[in-house]
Amino acid sequence: MRGATRDKGTTVPGKVFVHVILLDAEYDLRRYPFAAESPAFLLPMLNQPLIDRTVRWLAAFGLNEVTLVTNRNVAEDFDLAKSVVAHKLRLAGSVHEVLGRARAARRLDEPLLMMRANLDPLPNLRALIRSHVTDRAALTWIRGTALQGPGRYTFGPPALAFAAPVFSRLLLNDAQPRPLARLPRLCRQRGLACAEFEPERGVVEIDTSYALYHANIDALGSSPLTAKAANDMGLERRGERLWVAPEVEIGKVDIDPTGGPVIVGWGAEIGHGAILRGPTVIGEGVSIGAGSCVHRALLLDSTWLPRESFVANSVVSPRLTARVAV
């Protein structure tokens, strides 16, 4: 990757260049029905698709050469094509293909950064690279959400990983179809050093995919929304655990933040008499009719709820409504 990782004048030791690979979740059933309609990383959250936030986050650290690994037909998906063109993403059918290109260009000596394309937000990249370079680990990774208990999911696969050049060569020979989930085990099998990076406490990760909904909404409810995270999302605090984006119209409503914060995206309209119970995320341009009750739910951008609607423990989109079991 021909871009030094810089942040406010600070350079990561060794002037590291990095291959960045974003992995598509494809069409697995855990993300049904949303991934069947649209890639999870293109689903809108607050004011922009998740992949837009990810690419801009990478660009802030000077990482502008990004490859999206997907088997989707870009020519048949306008939103995907628009994102690829807007962010100048490179396309590949597999990690094996990306590493093959790197080998042909004699660039296998560069570290490899792999992550799911629908993460938002992410840990401090500068600190992660610094930890990886300093510890000289073959693999430095961060686990995905791991919440255990009644009605909660547990996720063990890493959400993000840095692989050293030696590990990149190993992957090139193995050609794993789903490399991110198998990286730690592959590393242990080869007897290579594997370090775990701990992100800052209070990081809020919002994932709009179907099966990950419960885990992320629980994470939102179990930890306070930090001022930094709110600032990154352009939110203003109003009252106890109510965070609102600009140009929002809210009537006289009842906010119950007992379970977690209520986040309202840009341009949303909420009618009089509505009841909002956290943790709840209301996306950009959402319209909630008067007298409605929204309890522990995720409303994707441009969703419209008629008067006196009741939505609980659900993900709602303009075209699809998916019920999530408690």
- Min mean pLDDT across 3-7, 247-251, 285-289 is at 3-7
The answer on 70 and 34 residing in a single domain is yes
Q: Are residues 131 and 275 in the same domain?
A: no
Alpha helices in the chain (DSSP H): 34-37, 50-59, 78-86, 95-104, 125-135, 165-174, 179-189, 213-222, 227-232
| Separation between Cα atoms, residue 25 and residue 17, nearest integer Å | 26
Lowest mean pLDDT among 8-22, 146-160, 170-184: 146-160
Same domain, 162 and 237: no
Kindly report the backbone phi and psi dihedral angles of residue 42, in degrees, each rounded to the nearest multiple of 5, phi listed first: -100, -5
Contacts of 246 (CB under 8 A, 6+ apart): 234, 236, 266
CATH of the domain at 111: 3.90.550.10
Question: Would you state the pLDDT for residue 213?
Answer: 57
**156 and 228 belong to one structural domain:** no
- From 19-23, 93-97, 143-147, the region with the lowest mean pLDDT: 143-147
Q: Which tens digits make up the pLDDT trace of 296-309?
A: 888 888 888 988 88
Q: Is residue 234 scored above 70 in pLDDT?
A: yes
217 falls within a domain: no
Read off the pLDDT band of 21 (50, 70, 90). Answer: very high
206 inside domain: no
Its pTM surpasses 0.85: no
- Provide CB contacts within 8 A for 199, sequence distance 6+: 122, 123, 124, 142
Q: Are residues 175 and 249 in the same domain?
A: no
Domain count, the chain: 2
State whether 90 and 175 are in the same domain: yes
Are 158 and 234 contained in the same domain? no
Sheet holding 194-196, edge to edge: 90-92, 66-69, 19-23, 112-116, 158-163, 139-143, 194-196
CATH code of the domain containing 262? 2.160.10
**Residues β-bridged to residue 245:** none
Same domain? For 233 and 167 the reply is no
Q: φ and ψ at 162, to 5 degrees?
A: -110, 125
| Residue 13 counted as domain residue | yes
55 and 191 in a single domain? The answer is: yes
For the segment 114-165, what is each residue's pLDDT rounded down to a tens digit? 988 877 666 778 888 888 888 889 999 876 544 444 444 444 556 788 999 8
DSSP code of residue 2: -
Q: Does residue 86 surpass a pLDDT of 80?
A: yes
Q: In terms of domains, do 175 and 266 share one?
A: no
Range of the domain at 305: 224-323
pLDDT at 14: 46
Q: Are residues 192 and 244 in the same domain?
A: no
The reply to whether 187 and 239 lie within a common domain is: no
pLDDT tens per residue across span 204-218: 555 555 445 555 566
